[in-house]
């Protein structure tokens, strides 16, 4: 796994559709590519959750105190 994978996936969250395509371009390790493609739904779910809680400060606090328990 390249260091770029960590900064690309975790430091700059993005839509999983574009993420998977970009990953195939810059990550040459086939094991990492397979891992990403096999766990597409996990990345999609996390992105949707991030988008929901990033909408407003109230949504963020609601998520912290009510959903994360």
Q: Please state, for a pLDDT cut of 70, what percent of the chain lies above it.
A: 87
- pTM confidence score: 0.64
Whether 69 has a pLDDT exceeding 70, the answer reads no
Burial class (CB in 10 A: 0-12, 13-18, 19+), 13: middle
pLDDT in tens, 26-51: 788 888 888 888 888 888 888 888 88
The pLDDT value given to residue 68 = 56
Structure tokens belonging to residue 16: 């999983």
The pLDDT value given to residue 32 = 82
Q: Please state, for a pLDDT cut of 90, what percent of the chain lies above it.
A: 1
Angle ∠(38,42,63) on CA atoms, nearest 5? 175
């Amino acid at each position: 796994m390249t260091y770029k994978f960590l900064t690309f996936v975790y430091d700059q969250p993005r839509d999983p559709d574009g993420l998977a395509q970009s990953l195939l371009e810059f990550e040459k390790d086939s094991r990492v590519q397979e891992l990403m493609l096999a766990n597409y739904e996990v990345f999609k779910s996390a992105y949707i959750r991030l988008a929901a809680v990033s909408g407003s400060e109230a949504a963020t606090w609601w998520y912290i105190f009510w959903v994360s328990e």
